[in-house]
Amino acid sequence: MEMVTVSPTYRVMQRIGYALSGIYSSRLNPLYYLGAITVFLLIIDVISGIYLFFFYDVDPKGAHASVEAISSSFLGSLMRSIHRYSSDGLILFAVLHMLQMIFTDRFRMFRWIAWVSGVGTLLLFLAIGISGYLLVWDERAQLTGLLTAKFFSVIPIFGHALMSAFLGTDIKNLGGLFRILLFGHIAVTILLVFTLWVHVMRISRPRLFPPKELMILLTVYVVAVSILFPAKSDPPADLGKVPFSMSLDWFYLTGYPLFKVFPLSVNWILFLGFFGILTAFPWLIKGRRNPPAHVLEDKCEGCRQCFLDCPYEAIYMKRISEKEEKAEVIESKCAGCGICVASCNYGANEIPTVPIQNILEDLRSKKPDLAVFRCSFAAQVEERNGVRVYTFPCAGAVNAVWMRDILKEVKGVMVVSCDGIDCYFREGVEWTEARFTGKRRPRLLKTLERGRIRVVEAPSVANIDKEVEDFLNALKDPSRLPEDVTFVARNKVNPILASVLLFIPFLTFYPLTTDRMDFYPTDKALAVITFKYRSSPVKKAEGTHSKLEHMKAMQNIAIERSPILLTFKVDGKTLLEKRYDPRGLRKDASIYVYEEFLLKPGKHTVELKLVETKNPDVVKTFKVVRELKPATSLAISFAEGKGFFLLGGK
């Protein structure tokens, strides 16, 4: 019977994993805990974030100074750096975890909920990280804010309004935005608990935390990089000028360099296309699925063991009378691993990929020396004289109870599983070892010669010939066999190499978060027009004829305002002639303008003219001559009663 087996990319992952197990042991191999490491870093992130929250000033006027004040003490700087580096780490490990799921073919069919919620969680992580960077209110925050606002400006409810918040005079606008950002930063972090719950809801006993040895190492590393490379801010933001460059955090702002290369529309296509395709992966890349298990109701004694063992919560106990319940498989959730077949003492669970009766007959007729039961993802074992090989979907499908009958026909039994906890079906290897050591039901009978059984952890990339040869030799002299089952696994740790290797990703955090990048050409100057304008009404609401004093104002409410025509000239050459409509469904709200122009450095005459198209006698003009240096900006704004003026005190 054909079943899901190891793909070429899975083989590569197994090779890397198996090599790492030689350093970390399979139990402590960080590659097998990428999701759990992400959760652990998230917890460090939240704890350090709570500390920062108490000292942070949400008012943009004081935000940067408050962050600098936090950084000025050892503890504050440490907590800030831990917050930054644990955030970077969790993105890195989440992405590695996602790639691992892709390469090991663990993203479709019964895993689709984990996949889709994983993509959602990743997006939430990015949103939290970007909002966190804005809260620092340094040049990186301002430029990130401007670029993000530009990205969202294609959505009509935002338009140019968000951009004006990051470059303009109205710090009040920004103050409101900051409160929303801080609230969002915290609220979305809380939302993560929910998305992570959805992420693992179809998984029994998800491994949410790495082993404690790894947790200790990870904590030491985050603290070490925080002390070695304290997180720093860029210079404070200035609402009067555009920063041309910033230090880029490659973990959170990865997509931002694309703003330099492509227009907004292409960036949206790339963003929606990338995350859309990623979300749809489970349906775009079809795969095979093992046939599901089923329960023979009349044999089931209702012991619940299969219900407890299933790694995908695919079995439920159906109540059939007041005292009796029977197991039933939910086919849509069933991964076809066969683990439940090995849970049952009564032979009530069956799966077509584990034809135990045929196998027993085969063994009775062939009488080999060795019966090998291998997982379909584990090492290939060659059939040869005296060796019969049976492939199961998972090593966890080998029932310890069968050994009584099997050992009557053969000299020895070898179970070949994947490497440690890197089981495609999550818990197959763990349950096998627990059952064969008598720690979990159904247990291996104590009266059996348990030394005739070997369980070998060897993924498909391992060469198992020598193991088979050794065991065959050992079986020739039963008196020298051990008393108990032998487990062969990579369980040696090389502490120095193991510690050094895991530190490497942490050493990337500082260079990858401080890499300076220009977002505007530094050999050019930038002219920016940024303002909010409330044009004169063209229509007023009908009078309400109210006699009440406080209702009289209603009579003058504008229900439509005039569009404006803006003309921008540099050295007599028209660079912009554009009409802007008031916002709002009734076209009665303010107009927001944000336009950028790259200019050659040097002396320029800059002219701006605003005309209300429906009230042509309302005209505002502005003319200024300025020497512009490379990599500087000239920002023109507008205020009621003041007219056009230059931002930044020029």
Whichever of 38 and 633 has its CB closer to ligand HEM, that residue is: 38
In angstroms, what is the minimal distance from the CB of 111 to ligand HEM?
A: 4
Could you tell me which of 474, 485, 388 has the C-alpha nearest to residue 435?
A: 485
Q: Is 306 in the site for ligand SF4 (CB under 6 A)?
A: yes
- Which of residues 38, 87, 233, 305 is near ligand SF4 by CB under 6 A? 305
Q: Is 314 in the site for ligand SF4 (CB under 6 A)?
A: yes
Q: Please count the CA atoms within 13 angstroms of the CA of 28 that sit on its side-chain side.
A: 19
Whichever of 411 and 426 has its CB closer to ligand HEM, that residue is: 426
Q: Is 343 in the site for ligand SF4 (CB under 6 A)?
A: yes
**How far apart are the C-alpha atoms of 405 and 89, rounded to whole Å?**
51
Residue with tokens 């580096």: 85
Neighbouring C-beta atoms of residue 53, cutoff 10 Å: 12
Query: Pseudo-torsion of CA 67, 70, 72, 75, nearest 10°?
Result: -150
| DSSP classification of residue 459 | B
Could you tell me which of 289, 254, 256 has the C-alpha nearest to residue 94?
A: 254
Residues 183-242 close enough to bind ligand HEM by CB under 6 A: 196, 199-200, 203, 206-208
**Cβ density class 244-264: b for 16+ within 10 Å, e for less:** bbbbbbbbbbeebeebeeeee
Q: Is 336 in the site for ligand SF4 (CB under 6 A)?
A: yes
In angstroms, what is the minimal distance from the CB of 431 to ligand SF4?
A: 9
Q: Is 108 in the site for ligand HEM (CB under 6 A)?
A: no
Whichever of 66 and 460 has its CB closer to ligand HEM, that residue is: 460
SS3 for 8? Answer: helix
Identify any residues that bridge with 633 across adjacent strands, giving them in sequence order. 526
Sign of the C-alpha dihedral computed for residues 162, 164, 165 and 170 taken in this order: negative
Whichever of 56 and 125 has its CB closer to ligand HEM, that residue is: 125
Whole-angstrom CA distances from 561 to 156, 170, 474 are 18, 22, 94
Q: Do 406 and 363 touch, CB atoms closer than 8 A?
A: yes
Q: Do 573 and 537 touch, CB atoms closer than 8 A?
A: no
Whichever of 331 and 465 has its CB closer to ligand SF4, that residue is: 331
Q: Is 423 in the site for ligand SF4 (CB under 6 A)?
A: no
Q: Is 335 in the site for ligand SF4 (CB under 6 A)?
A: yes
- Which of residues 339, 356, 389, 610 is near ligand SF4 by CB under 6 A? 339
In angstroms, what is the minimal distance from the CB of 399 to ligand SF4?
A: 10
In angstroms, what is the minimal distance from the CB of 321 to ligand SF4?
A: 15
Residues 46-105 close enough to bind ligand HEM by CB under 6 A: 94, 97-98, 101
Whichever of 239 and 303 has its CB closer to ligand SF4, that residue is: 303
**Cβ density class 396-408: b for 16+ within 10 Å, e for less:** bbbbbbbbeebbe
Q: Do 122 and 94 touch, CB atoms closer than 8 A?
A: yes
Site string for ligand SF4, 258-297 (x = CB under 6 A): ----------------------------------xx-x--
**Residue 647 binding result from ligand SF4, ligand HEM, none, given CB thresholds of 5 to 8 Å by partner type:** none
- Which of residues 236, 255, 302, 386 is near ligand SF4 by CB under 6 A? 302
Whole-angstrom CA distances from 17 to 14, 370, 392, 400, 518 are 5, 28, 22, 28, 39
Whichever of 129 and 393 has its CB closer to ligand SF4, that residue is: 393
Query: Which residues contact residue 168 at a Cβ distance below 8 angstroms, ignoring those fewer than 6 apart?
Result: 239, 530, 531, 532, 637, 647
Q: Is 107 in the site for ligand HEM (CB under 6 A)?
A: yes
**Residue 343 binding result from ligand HEM, ligand SF4, none, given CB thresholds of 5 to 8 Å by partner type:** ligand SF4
Site string for ligand SF4, 120-149 (x = CB under 6 A): ------------------------------
Q: Which residue number has the CB closest to ligand HEM?
A: 118
What's the angle, vertex CA 558, arms to CA 555 and CA 561, rounded to 5?
Answer: 160
Query: Token pair of 511, please?
Result: 């260079």
What phi-psi label fits residue 132: left (phi over 0), alpha (psi between -120 and 50 degrees) or beta? alpha
**Residue 344 binding result from ligand HEM, ligand SF4, none, given CB thresholds of 5 to 8 Å by partner type:** ligand SF4
- Which of residues 125, 133, 221, 251 is near ligand HEM by CB under 6 A? 125
In angstroms, what is the minimal distance from the CB of 97 to ligand SF4?
A: 21
| DSSP classification of residue 311 | T
Interacting residue ranges for ligand SF4, rule: CB under 6 A: 292-293, 295, 300-307, 310, 312, 314-315, 327, 329, 334-340, 343-344, 346, 348-349, 351
Interacting residues toward ligand HEM by CB under 6 A: 35-36, 38-39, 94, 97-98, 101, 106-107, 111, 114-115, 118-119, 121-122, 125, 196, 199-200, 203, 206-208, 426
